[in-house]
Structure 1
Amino acid sequence: MATHDATARASSTVPPRQRERWIDLIRGTAILLVIANHAIDVPMHIADITPGTVIDDITLYFAPFRMTSLMLLSGLLLPRALAKPPRRYYASKLRTLAWPYVVWLVIFWIATSNPTEWMRPDGWATRSWLWFILCLFLSYLAAPLLTRIPTPWFALVPTTLWLLSTVAPDGTLFDLSYYSGFFFAGYLIARTQHLLRRFDTTPVMVLLLIGSSVFAALLVLQEHGLTLTSPATPGTNDDGAIERFDLIWVPVVLAGITGTALLARRIRGTLDGHREPAPSRFLQHIGRNSVVFYLIHYPLQIVLVKLLAAAGITEQPIVMSACIIAALAVSFGAVALRRRSRVVNALFVFPQRATPVPR
């Protein structure tokens, strides 16, 4: 009886196939923002190139939402993954998350000239851009056990994780607790979407977007020395600056992600039956192949910045633009080559005989 209920629950919460297009739209946008953000951070840390373009403000504006949305959307699709037999479920996560994590960790060590990093036990729990892959993998590992908790009590899972993030030290433990909270919040949304449909209205969407936009705008303003909060404001530090990872801001971040999801669904709805605009196709292509774009861009930008700095090219707009363009170009090329080369495909998923390459 319990098995039948679990199966019925999973099938009832799996998002319809047509929703994947709006999910890809958000994923593609988030990945593009990640690439742009690292195109600013990598030159700053490697070549001491000071940021100062409008792109910096844009990436800061969306900073609270880009990685949290990627985690939440993964959780939203978790019921579909859990519908697989346990052996197939775990094998899939080992092939698509654990394997590329190890492969690209080695590539990262080479790109950063640390070929002996594997000798250090803590070197395998990286804080580089691969933290996201590690966090996803561990969340998926825990999901079959945690999702046995009945729906009325399941809200305690993300809440407990967010509470743990307030005492977790900076590093892997913080990332795991804070961002996994959004992963399981996404699963909770999938589980209760029949109750949440009543809030799928334009006024609610606008309210959520306005509230989260004010929060994001305050983050940008305080970066320019225009702090409008004070030390007495909840969720701020001793200087009155907003601490965006503070627990009090989690509902605001959730509001921003939810408002964006409602907007993306409406945008996709207006495009159905019409020719897809180029920007939408562009973002959805990135979203469908998000793992390729995510894995490639960071070590590529590191190598590129080193080469440009060695050539005496340190102008911030030039280096930043080169990092973005190179990351996109190489990633698009890798996506195309995956369909033709087992070697290239093996960079992103463990080789398996007679398995079609994702398109």
Structure 2
Amino acid sequence: MIPSGQRHHWMDALRGAAVLLVALWHAFSIPYRETPPGIEWAFDFLSVYRIPLLMFLSGLLLDHSLSKPVSAYVGGKLRRIAWPLLVWSLVLILIAWRAAKPDSVGFWFGEDSHLWYLGVLLVCYAIGFLTRWVHPVVFLIVGVPAMELVQTENWLINSTLWFGLFFFAGATMSRWLAWWLARGPVLPSIALLAASAWAAYSATVHGYAPVAHWRPLAFSLAGVIGLVWFAARMRRARWLEWVGQRSIVFYVAHVPFIWIVTVLAVGSLPPPVTYALVLVVTGAGCWMLARHLAGSILFVFPRLPVRRRPEAAGEPLATPPGS
């Protein structure tokens, strides 16, 4: 388990890099139906790392979250995941009301939008509560054959069976993290090279990396675990850490910016100018929100004031300032 109060800055940097890759992918894939071939290949290659890395990092911190009281665990996930999911689902209705489907339950879990990740993450944290009594590796052992065998039309079940495996792999790895980081470079290098070779092959042959099979799962996990080893040894990238600490802002807000610029620019400007405008507006908009409003009600539900009863008659409800 990652010690309470100990912050691994490389985790913030990896999270920041992953969320920026997601935003960049959408910046090139949303404005036009066809992404430039070289760029499309690069993002197909990176699909082995993007969301799997985000899920894995969340799993790494599961034990730390579970060390808190149950009310804090549940409240934290509702305030910091369920709330922005709700708020930005409403934003999507406002800016894309013709395409939104608010009458569908799936819509409120992010179906057909980039917010699906938050819906899946919520389900993973709900299941993850059981790791108080069951080792997370059990969910991996059960989840791999379930991912292969379960065939359903429910996107939330399918996505949880796939991306949830990365979450519980991270939860399992958290108990071996110190051991892994103490290894030499040979195994991490082999893992990263094997995953990258698979990613190149998959991007060339399949396009976007296939899911719901053990082979892409194994290679993607190897790549993520290899990245963790190398990231822990790299020089600090404070700007990436800053993005990672505010990753929810960049994740939920980037698509609305992209969509608005796309509506205004596509058809009136040439593609290179449109892409440049999308990148500038989205980057600046997300930065401004993260800089000034990251702690606002747009991204986190405020803590409700709790009145405490005095333990004894005459005891003050709060310690006076300066005492």
With normalisation by structure 2, the TM-score equals 0.85
Q: 2:140 aligns with which of 142, 154, 158?
A: 158
1:65 corresponding residue in structure 2: 49
2:26 corresponding residue in structure 1: 38
Question: Quick check: 138-147 or 74-83, which moved more?
Answer: 138-147
2:299 corresponding residue in structure 1: 348
Task: Indicate yes or no: 2:233 matched with 1:249.
Answer: no
Per the TM alignment, residue 212 of structure 1 is displaced from its structure 2 partner at its CA by 0.8
Letter in 2 for 1:292: V
1:336 corresponding residue in structure 2: 291
1:232 corresponding residue in structure 2: none
Contact between 1:64 and 1:244, CA under 8 Å: does it hold in 2? Answer: no
Gaps of 5+ in 2: 307-323
Contact between 2:139 and 2:168, CA under 8 Å: does it hold in 1? Answer: yes
C-alpha deviations, 1:116-154, integer Å up to 9, x for none?
7323334323231111111111111222223411x4xx4
Q: Give me the whole-angstrom Cα distance separating, in 2, the residues matched to 1:253 and 1:136.
A: 18
| SS of residue in 2 equivalent to 1:266 | coil
1:52 corresponding residue in structure 2: 36
1:138 corresponding residue in structure 2: 123
Distance of aligned partners of 1:242 and 1:41 in 2 relative to their CA distance in 1, 3 Å threshold: closer
C-alpha deviations, 1:203-248, integer Å up to 9, x for none?
1121111111111111232268xxxxxxxxxxxxxxxx97354222
Contact between 1:22 and 1:264, CA under 8 Å: does it hold in 2? Answer: yes
2:96 corresponding residue in structure 1: 112
C-alpha deviations, 1:296-317, integer Å up to 9, x for none?
001221121011125x1241x3
Q: Give me the whole-angstrom Cα distance separating, in 2, the residues matched to 1:242 and 1:353.
A: 43
Per the TM alignment, residue 319 of structure 1 is displaced from its structure 2 partner at its CA by 2.3
Distance of aligned partners of 1:39 and 1:116 in 2 relative to their CA distance in 1, 3 Å threshold: closer
Distance of aligned partners of 1:16 and 1:318 in 2 relative to their CA distance in 1, 3 Å threshold: farther
Per the TM alignment, residue 333 of structure 1 is displaced from its structure 2 partner at its CA by 0.4
Contact between 1:155 and 1:188, CA under 8 Å: does it hold in 2? Answer: yes
Distance of aligned partners of 1:67 and 1:15 in 2 relative to their CA distance in 1, 3 Å threshold: farther
Q: Give me the whole-angstrom Cα distance separating, in 2, the residues matched to 1:257 and 1:143.
A: 20
2:311 corresponding residue in structure 1: none
Superposition pairs of residues 150-189 of structure 1, within 5 angstroms: 151=135, 154-166=136-148, 167-169=150-152, 171-189=155-173
Per the TM alignment, residue 195 of structure 1 is displaced from its structure 2 partner at its CA by 5.0
Q: How many residues align?
A: 303
Letter in 2 for 1:296: A
Superposition pairs of residues 245-324 of structure 1, within 5 angstroms: 245-268=212-235, 271=236, 280-309=237-266, 312-315=268-271, 317-324=272-279
Distance of aligned partners of 1:164 and 1:333 in 2 relative to their CA distance in 1, 3 Å threshold: same
C-alpha deviations, 1:320-350, integer Å up to 9, x for none?
33222222211110112227xx7xx111011
Q: Give me the whole-angstrom Cα distance separating, in 1, the residues matched to 2:197 and 2:292.
A: 42
Deviating above 6 A after TM superposition, structure 1's stretches of 4 or more consecutive aligned residues are none
Superposition pairs of residues 188-203 of structure 1, within 5 angstroms: 188-193=172-177, 195-196=179-180, 200-203=183-186
Per the TM alignment, residue 284 of structure 1 is displaced from its structure 2 partner at its CA by 1.6
Per the TM alignment, residue 112 of structure 1 is displaced from its structure 2 partner at its CA by 1.6
Contact between 2:262 and 2:278, CA under 8 Å: does it hold in 1? Answer: yes
Letter in 2 for 1:38: H
Query: Sequence identity, in percent?
Result: 26
2:316 corresponding residue in structure 1: none
Q: Give me the whole-angstrom Cα distance separating, in 2, the residues matched to 1:319 and 1:168.
A: 40
Contact between 1:159 and 1:181, CA under 8 Å: does it hold in 2? Answer: no
Q: Give me the whole-angstrom Cα distance separating, in 2, the residues matched to 1:156 and 1:318.
A: 50
Per the TM alignment, residue 23 of structure 1 is displaced from its structure 2 partner at its CA by 0.6
Per the TM alignment, residue 56 of structure 1 is displaced from its structure 2 partner at its CA by 2.6
C-alpha deviations, 1:41-84, integer Å up to 9, x for none?
2113xxx3x21154333222110111011001011011111111
With normalisation by structure 1, the TM-score equals 0.77
C-alpha deviations, 1:265-308, integer Å up to 9, x for none?
1103xx5xxxxxxxx22222111110000010012211210111
Question: Quick check: 120-129 or 282-291, which moved more?
Answer: 120-129
